[in-house]
Amino acid sequence: MRFARGNSRLLSLAGLMFIVLSMTLASSCSNTGNPGSGSNAKPSAAEAEKFINEAEKKLFALNVKYSRADWVKSTYITEDTEALSAEANKDVIAATTEYAEQSRRFEGLELSPDVARKIKLLKLSLTLPAPKDPGERDELTKIAASMEGDYGKGKYCPDADQSKCLSIGDMEKILAESRDPEELKRIWVGWHKISPPFRKDYQRYIELANKGAKEMGFKDVGAMWRAKYDMEPDAFAAEMERLWQQVKPLYDSLYTYTRRKLSDKYGQQVVPLDGPIPAHLLGNMWAQTWGNVYPLLKPETGDRGYDLTEILKARKTEPKQMVRYGESFFTSLGFEQLPGTFWERSMFTKPLDHEAVCHASAWDLDFEKDVRLKMCIQINEEDFTTVHHELGHNYYQMAYAGQPFLYRDSANDAFHEAIGDTIALSVTSPYLKQIKLIEKVPEASADIGFLLQRALDKVAFLPFGYLVDQWRWKVFSGAVGPNDYNKAWWDLRLKYQGVAPPAPRSEQDFDAGAKYHVAANVPYARYFLAAILQFQFHRALCREAGFTGPLYQCSIYDNKKAGERLKQMLAMGQSKPWPEALKALTGEDKMDATAIIDYFAPLKQWLDQENQKAANTK
């Protein structure tokens, strides 16, 4: 099990296979030892308990084997290590999917809450249920693999010159740094040409996936995804909308300020003050985070008076010392030191003699204490924060290691990412002063710049984090048909983000497919929820620590009381419905976005003042 920094969990091609082969049944039951699989006799509750215990034991062993193979593949990339990882993952696929299918024998039985929860979690671990029909199952497998492959191979070749083709990484760099609207437009349009070729495949993929979901007792795939959140699917959809309405006023203030500053830069013919922002001008291919355009938006008093990157470099900080800073944060809260194996087996720097995946991720190889960090650490402020984030995952993994195997995960799929980001929120100027990296906390006048930069990452993401699955839920349910895929996508982007495409679009395009998570069938609601929960967690821990100042200045560093509260929740893993885990940490059993409003309150006031000034000078 591994968790990656950013808006997506690290997925390999082998991981894709786990998604798309979700209902592939093994040819016999000999691989898993399922009891009574060939019997028509009505099963008992005792059989169900025996079944789930055997499933946990088998899945535990197979997942450990796969984790080890995948670690070697990620840290030492060769054809052989890739093949070994894929083979180990096939074994996980076969066992997980067969157990999920066999568990349906126990539907309708009165089971203990523990057994019933484990069986539910087992079934809902299947992200994409393929139909039982072997031909349709194979067809879905090929379509899904092809779509992700097309995305991964996607390039933009200006003027059809194959020697000058640009990868998505090349294009993202241009979008981040260029201030030429025509160049940005060319790059944006170029990337969005990769997805129309698999638009028809996506339509068929929806049909087949929905058939599989219905065979499992769900209305459609979207309903199945929403059922993972310990509430009725429609109730979960309503909860997402409620949270969005809580944060919308803050987003609107940020949006209005950003639009005006971009209009100042590019002119009203490019960015009209009464229209949507062109999506290619926000520094990101999907306009999902806007931090890259901060230099165009920063206030005059935004300088903090220190450069953490330069401080770390001046002190000749080594990569391992960066991790020691992160470990010290957790030990200051009362957590144990990282095990010796962590320091022996983690990858902190890019190997010199072989290829490895540098993307930061936290690993749990044996689901007990063999946790590791995989990261090519650069000595800069961003990686200093990222280390704290990733160790949040590792400490979560160690905390729930005492739970049964099916409970060794976060309370819901948003909690893991939210915990990592909660820890990162405590990397504040007061914290840096406490650990003697800076001599004094900057003047309050510099706080607006800090908050604006953070809002361009955290707040700007919220509507995009919400709308991706809004679109898919509508597609899965049939509310949006194949003839309206692109129209519906841009209707939602206009409604929630207030952005518009930089070039005319039609139903010949398939712009949703130009986002990895759509092409690869990765649910997205988790990222929206994590963006909300991290602030709710942060506020609760700061209260526990007795902090009374502005929320954005709070760090829980060196507070054992807050650390104990955090430990108690982390140890629950997935053993209880997530509202119980939320209550254990926050005292609240509902997600609440008012914490993000509290955090950015000074920025909201400043934005509104700036927006009013601009309105008065028209």
For 424-443, the DSSP string reads HHT--HHHHHHTTSSSSPPP
- Measured CA to CA, the distance from residue 465 to residue 304 in angstroms comes to 30
Active site residue 360: yes
363 and 511 in a single domain? The answer is: no
Short-list 587, 569, 553, 350, CA closest to 450: 553
Helix (H, G, I), strand (E, B) or coil at 278: strand
**Catalytic residue flag (residue 251):** no
Six-digit token string for 117: 């929860």
CB distance 45 to 115 below 8 Å: yes
Residue 593 covered by a domain: no
Q: Are residues 253 and 168 in the same domain?
A: yes
Beta carbons within 10 angstroms of residue 511's beta carbon: 21
Is residue 256 pLDDT above 50, yes or no? yes
Together in a domain, 158 and 251: yes
Q: Over pLDDT 90: what percentage of the chain?
A: 72
- What is the pLDDT confidence band of residue 328, given thresholds at 50, 70 and 90? very high
Average pLDDT (360-377) is: 91
The residue ranking higher by pLDDT, 8 or 116, is 116
Separation CA 352–CA 19 (nearest Å): 33
For residue 535, is it within any domain? no
Comparing C-alpha atoms, which of 561, 297, 308 is closest to residue 429?
A: 308
Provide the 10 A C-beta neighbour count for residue 221: 28
Confidence of residue 24 (pLDDT cuts 50, 70, 90): very low
Q: Is 389 known to be catalytic? A: yes
Q: With bands split at pLDDT 50, 70 and 90, how would you rate the model's confidence at 2?
A: low
354 as an active site residue: the answer is no
Rg (CA), the chain: 24
Residue 216 lies in a domain: no
Are residues 366 and 296 both part of a single domain?
no
At 555 the three-state DSSP class reads coil
Q: Which residues of 159-188 are buried (b: 16+ CB within 10 A; e: fewer)?
A: eeeeeeebebeebbebbeeeeebeebbbbb
Strand pairing category for 371-374 and 499-500: unpaired
CB 571 within 8 A of CB 577: no
Residue 330 has pLDDT above 70, yes or no: yes
Q: What are phi and psi of 4, to 5 degrees?
A: -110, 150
What average pLDDT is seen over the chain?
Answer: 89
CA distance 470 to 489: 9
Per-residue pLDDT at 403: 96
DSSP lists the bridge partners of residue 156 as: 166
Active site residue 310: no
Annotated catalytic residue: which of 279, 360, 531, 581? 360
Do residues 359 and 10 make contact, with C-beta atoms less than 8 angstroms apart?
yes
d(CA 42, CA 107): 11
**Whether 356 is catalytic:** no
pLDDT of residue 31: 40
Phi, psi of 166 (to 5 degrees): -110, 135
Residues linked to residue 277 through DSSP beta bridges, in sequence order? 499
Catalytic residue among 100, 417, 455, 540: 417
455 is catalytic: no
Counting residues of the chain whose pLDDT is more than 70, the rounded percentage is 93
Give the whole-angstrom CA distance, residue 375 versus residue 348.
Answer: 5
Tokens in use for 231? 């509430």
Q: Is 531 left (phi over 0), alpha (psi -120 to 50) or beta?
A: alpha
pLDDT bracket for residue 160 (50, 70, 90)? low
Comparing 7-16, 177-186, 266-275, 578-587, the range with the smallest average pLDDT is: 7-16
User: pLDDT band at residue 40, thresholds of 50, 70 and 90?
Assistant: low
Q: What residues make up the domain containing 109?
A: 24-33+44-125
Query: Is 540 a member of any domain?
Result: no
Q: Are 90 and 186 found together in one domain?
A: no
Give the rounded distance of the alpha carbon of 293 from its chain centre: 22
Is 277 in contact with 499 (CB distance < 8 Å)? yes
| pLDDT of res. 298 | 93
Q: What is the mean pLDDT of the segment spanning 318-341? A: 96
- Which region, left, alpha or beta, applies to residue 161 given φ > 0 means left and ψ of -120 to 50 means alpha? beta
Q: At residue 8, does pLDDT exceed 50?
A: no
> What is the C-alpha separation between 38 and 153, in angstroms, rounded?
44
Count: domains in the chain:
3
Q: Which of 445, 332, 339, 437 is nearest to 381 (CA)?
A: 437
- Would the pLDDT of 9 be above 60? no
pLDDT at 325: 96
User: Is residue 168 located within the same domain as residue 312?
Assistant: no
Helices of type H across 279-414 = 294-297, 308-314, 319-332, 340-345, 381-399
User: Annotated catalytic residue: which of 101, 327, 390, 544?
Assistant: 390
Burial label, 504 (beta-carbon count in 10 A; 0-12, 13-18, 19+): exposed
In order, the DSSP letters of 502-522 are: SS---TT--GGGGSHHHHTT-
Q: Which of 47, 76, 116, 359 is catalytic?
A: 359
Catalytic residue (choose from 279, 517, 525, 599): 517
The predicted structure's pLDDT at residue 158: 86
Candidates 66, 151, 431, 527; catalytic one: 527
Q: Which two tokens stand for residue 122?
A: 């087992």
Q: Report whether 600 contacts 462 (CB < 8 A).
A: no
- The arrangement of strands across the sheet holding 361-364 comes to 2-4, 361-364, 371-374
What integer is the mean pLDDT of 281-300? 95
Rounded to an integer, the average pLDDT of 215-224 is 91
Is the model's pLDDT at 30 over the cut of 50?
A: no
Read off the DSSP letter of residue 400.
T
Q: What is the pLDDT of residue 161?
A: 67
Q: Same structural domain for residues 151 and 187?
A: yes
- pLDDT (mean) for 243-247: 97
pLDDT for residue 281 is more than 70: yes
pLDDT-wise least confident of 276-280, 303-307, 464-468, 596-600: 303-307
Structure-model confidence comparison of residues 33 and 89, the more confident one: 89
8 Å CB contact between 12 and 77: no
Q: How far apart are CA 209 and CA 479, in angstroms?
A: 16
Q: 589 exposed, middle or buried (CB, 10 Å; 0-12, 13-18, 19+)? A: middle
pLDDT band of 163, cuts 50, 70, 90:
confident
Confidence of residue 487 (pLDDT cuts 50, 70, 90): very high
Does some domain include residue 5? no
Query: How many angstroms separate the CA atoms of 345 and 373, rounded?
Result: 8
Q: Are residues 421 and 492 in the same domain?
A: no
State the average pLDDT over residues 284-309: 91
Assess whether 582 and 502 both reside in one domain: no
Q: Which carries the bigger pLDDT value, residue 367 or residue 222? A: 222
Q: Of the residues 67, 91, 125, which one is the last residue of a structural domain?
A: 125
pTM confidence score: 0.90
When comparing pLDDT for 555 and 353, which is higher?
555
Which of 192, 393, 416, 538 is labelled catalytic?
Answer: 393
| pLDDT of 290 over the 50 cut | yes
* 527 carries an active-site annotation: yes
Integer Cα distance of 197 and 203 in angstroms: 12
pLDDT value at residue 18? 37
- Amino acid present at 463: P
pLDDT at position 15:
38
Work out the average pLDDT over 11-25: 37
Is the distance from CB of 36 to CB of 43 less than 8 angstroms? Answer: yes
Q: What mean pLDDT do residues 118-125 have?
A: 89
Q: How far apart are CA 437 and CA 313, in angstroms?
A: 11
Mean pLDDT, residues 582-608 taken together: 97
In the prediction, which pLDDT does 3 show?
53
Q: Are residues 61 and 190 in the same domain?
A: no
pLDDT at 171 over 60: yes
Contact 166, 41 (CB under 8 A): no
**Nearest CA among 238, 136, 177, 295 for reference residue 525:** 238
Of 125, 159, 176, which one is at a domain's C-terminal end? 125
* Helices 381-399, 319-332: inter-axial angle, 10-degree rounding: 50
Decide: 258 and 611 in contact? Cβ < 8 Å: no
Average pLDDT over residues 309-333: 96
- Is 14 a domain residue? no
CA-to-CA dists, residue 471 to 222, 256, 467, angstroms: 10, 25, 6
| pLDDT of the residue at 536 | 98
**pLDDT for res 1:** 53
Q: Which of these, 100, 111, 99, 96, lies nearest to 47 by C-alpha position? A: 111
Annotated active-site residue in 388, 389, 416, 538: 389
Instruction: Report yes or no on 210 lying in a domain.
Output: no
Residues 258 and 312 in one domain: no
Would residue 137 count as lying in a domain? no
Domain shared by 458 and 486, yes or no = yes
